[in-house]
A = this chain, B = another copy of it.
Amino acid sequence: MAARELSVWGWGYADTPEPPQVDSALQSYRFLLGKPNYTLFPPDVAAIARGLRKPRFNLADAPAEVRQICSDDPKTRMRLSYGRSTRDIFRAILGGFSNPPDYVALPRTESDIVALLAWADRTATHVIPVGGGTTVAAGTEPLKGATRVVAVDMTKHFNKVLEANTTDMTALVQGGVTGPGLNTQLRKWGLTLRHFPQAWELATVGGWLATRSGGHYATNLTHIDSFVVSLRIITPRGIIDTLPVPSSGAGPTPDRVFLGSEGILGIVTQCRLRVQHPPQHRVATTLVFPSFAKGSEATRAIVQASLYPAQCRLVDGAESRAYGIGGDVRLDQACLLLGFESAHVGDLETRCMAPAIALARKFGGLVVAPGGTDTESPAADESATFRSSFITVPYLRDALLLRGFWLETFETACSWSRWEELKTGVEAVARERKAVVTTRYTHVYTDGPAMYFTVAFRPSSPNAAISEWNRMKTAFTTCVLDHGGTLTHHHAVGKDLAVFYEREKGAVWTDTVRAIKRHFDPNGIMNPGTVVPVQQSGEGTKSKI
């Protein structure tokens, strides 16, 4: 909870050293893609801050609360100019920052938020709720062409666990609490959440709800949705506070309209989450398969047998080698990281791991890092290796970006019947554009996997990089949709994918999202252009979502 400074332009904290893997990663990418075409240097933050566009309006007429909570600090506004996708970091490195929010609000109380929204509604000011600011879909980037923008940073005053109940195993949590803040506070009650999105260190619970984050569990409790008992959200139309019950059968579920709403309806101030006792029992193992396809069949068998592994990540040969799992795994093989955990019932080796391994063996799976609990033999648990790499990767990505390699990820979910054509399609797109792509399953369902792709390419020049990436990204997205995949499994739609939203959901539902937005936000002030594109109305300059 110490006030470490966040990087203005890159991932995470400014004082984080470059990860030790930079050199070996550079070597690998040089081998795969060739010598990089350029080197870049971090932006001169102080100089850019001095020249940053001033707020385009003043707050003289704003109510006292609004004036008290709004800051025009240039560095903060720079930091919130972009999310943290590779394209975002790249634009920041090039010294962009041409469209920062005019102010950053740090609301202290719910009534500050109510006052802020009322004032913004009257003055046609865009309001962008921000958690950790780690969106990789431009979810919190100010809309191009907007003239009045306030970003709302919830991390400063809405960062408490308000209460926890060890009978119901739920906790009432404020929207601006980050992963570490959450777990530190839950520890007082001997509790934990066990939801670890990649941005866990920085992102907030409110952001997780808004973007339907994917976490720790590979099966069953995959999205944050499954942890949410109830939520409280402030919209321009009023406050919604849903009933904290295990499951209501009364009409359409309000929670599911707000989960995934990406700040376009309101600001989540608090929610009640299902929490757990920390696992007392754990087993983990790594299996190697003769091919990704065989590993996929094994993964399917395990999830369809309802064994509910906590970890069940199938990683292709190349990515396994990058992560250092599976020993001498060949590029055409695949590793399955398999793990079970329980807070209450032991014998996981017998009860869970043995039947899962028996299923995996039917598809040629070989145990290469044999089981063992995290606590007893951590070295044997390659899940731990994977997890620490997983958290480091975005820092590594930034280091490589400066050195001329562009790494990015995208994800989807599709049926078991179609994963192979989808993967083949994605690989063809990459090959055509001289990029390399690796694949893993991050989450698995009885009806299909969530596939996660990591792309690396070598832009031809700093000037061409963004357009080269944009073209490739469009090709990837189109390919995913063509093969029956969803636009996103847990990275959200943001502004980057909003133009594709209708392709996934159809025109009738897209209109419905617009109607729901109009209902809560008749003047279109809440994070417009996110999830669904802004529609230009015929009446001139006024744009309507």
Residues of chain A at the chain B interface (Cβ within 8 Å) = 165, 167-170, 211-212, 214, 220, 222-223, 229, 235, 237-254, 256-262, 274, 300-301, 304-308, 342-345, 347, 350-352, 355, 359, 413-417, 443, 445-450, 484-493, 497, 501, 504-509, 511-513, 515-516, 519-520, 531-532
In the complex formed, the residue of B with least CB distance to A518 is B515
Give 11 pairs: A residue, B residue, CB < 8 Å, sorted on A: A240-B506, A245-B415, A249-B489, A249-B490, A250-B486, A250-B501, A251-B493, A251-B532, A252-B259, A252-B513, A351-B352
Min CB distance A455 to B, Å, is 19
The residues of B that contact A301 with a CB separation of less than 8 Å are: 344
The residues of B that contact A509 with a CB separation of less than 8 Å are: 240, 242, 254
Say yes or no: A501-B243 contact (C-beta < 8 A), given A165-B417, A342-B305: no
The residues of B that contact A306 with a CB separation of less than 8 Å are: 308, 342, 344-345
The residues of B that contact A413 with a CB separation of less than 8 Å are: 245-248
The answer to whether B253 and A259 have CB atoms under 8 Å apart is yes
Say yes or no: A254-B343 contact (C-beta < 8 A), given A249-B492, A274-B446: no
The residues of B that contact A261 with a CB separation of less than 8 Å are: 251-252
Min CB distance A184 to B, Å, is 22
The residues of B that contact A506 with a CB separation of less than 8 Å are: 240-241
The answer to whether A485 and B448 have CB atoms under 8 Å apart is no
Say yes or no: A489-B247 contact (C-beta < 8 A), given A257-B512, A344-B359: yes
Min CB distance A32 to B, Å, is 29
Say yes or no: A448-B168 contact (C-beta < 8 A), given A239-B508, A252-B256, A508-B237: yes
Say yes or no: A243-B504 contact (C-beta < 8 A), given A252-B516, A256-B256: yes
The residues of B that contact A359 with a CB separation of less than 8 Å are: 344-345
Say yes or no: A248-B488 contact (C-beta < 8 A), given A342-B305, A519-B512: yes
Min CB distance A107 to B, Å, is 20
Say yes or no: A229-B342 contact (C-beta < 8 A), given A249-B212, A252-B257: no
Per a CB cutoff under 8 Å, which of B448, B488, B516 touches A512? B516
The answer to whether B504 and A304 have CB atoms under 8 Å apart is no
The answer to whether B170 and A447 have CB atoms under 8 Å apart is yes
Q: How far is the CA of A214 from the CA of B249 in the complex (A)?
A: 9
Min CB distance A307 to B, Å, is 7
In the complex formed, the residue of B with least CB distance to A258 is B252
Min CB distance A492 to B, Å, is 6
Q: How far is the CA of A413 from the CA of B506 in the complex (A)?
A: 35
Per a CB cutoff under 8 Å, which of B167, B486, B513 touches A416? B167
The residues of B that contact A165 with a CB separation of less than 8 Å are: 415, 417
Say yes or no: A223-B251 contact (C-beta < 8 A), given A240-B508, A344-B359, A506-B241: no
Q: How far is the CA of A381 from the CA of B221 in the complex (A)?
A: 31
Q: How far is the CA of A497 from the CA of B300 in the complex (A)?
A: 42
Per a CB cutoff under 8 Å, which of B211, B251, B308 touches A249? B211
Q: How far is the CA of A520 from the CA of B519 in the complex (A)?
A: 14
Q: How far is the CA of A46 from the CA of B108 in the complex (A)?
A: 71
Residue picked from A214, A304, A493, most chain B C-beta under 10 Å: A304
Q: How far is the CA of A242 from the CA of B509 in the complex (A)?
A: 9
Q: How far is the CA of A416 from the CA of B252 in the complex (A)?
A: 24
Min CB distance A33 to B, Å, is 30
Known: A246-B449, A250-B501. 16 other contacts (CB 8 A): A168-B417, A211-B249, A229-B447, A240-B506, A240-B508, A242-B505, A245-B448, A245-B484, A249-B490, A250-B497, A251-B493, A252-B257, A253-B260, A304-B344, A306-B342, A512-B520
The answer to whether B487 and A250 have CB atoms under 8 Å apart is yes
Q: How far is the CA of A306 from the CA of B490 in the complex (A)?
A: 24
The residues of B that contact A300 with a CB separation of less than 8 Å are: 167
Q: How far is the CA of A539 from the CA of B541 in the complex (A)?
A: 36
The residues of B that contact A253 with a CB separation of less than 8 Å are: 256, 259-260
In the complex formed, the residue of B with least CB distance to A487 is B250
The answer to whether A447 and B505 have CB atoms under 8 Å apart is no
The residues of B that contact A251 with a CB separation of less than 8 Å are: 260-262, 493, 501, 505, 513, 531-532
Per a CB cutoff under 8 Å, which of B169, B305, B347, B414 touches A245? B414
Q: How far is the CA of A491 from the CA of B247 in the complex (A)?
A: 12
The residues of B that contact A307 with a CB separation of less than 8 Å are: 345
The residues of B that contact A223 with a CB separation of less than 8 Å are: 247, 249
Q: How far is the CA of A36 from the CA of B169 in the complex (A)?
A: 46
In the complex formed, the residue of B with least CB distance to A411 is B249
Min CB distance A474 to B, Å, is 16
The residues of B that contact A244 with a CB separation of less than 8 Å are: 415, 484
Min CB distance A48 to B, Å, is 33
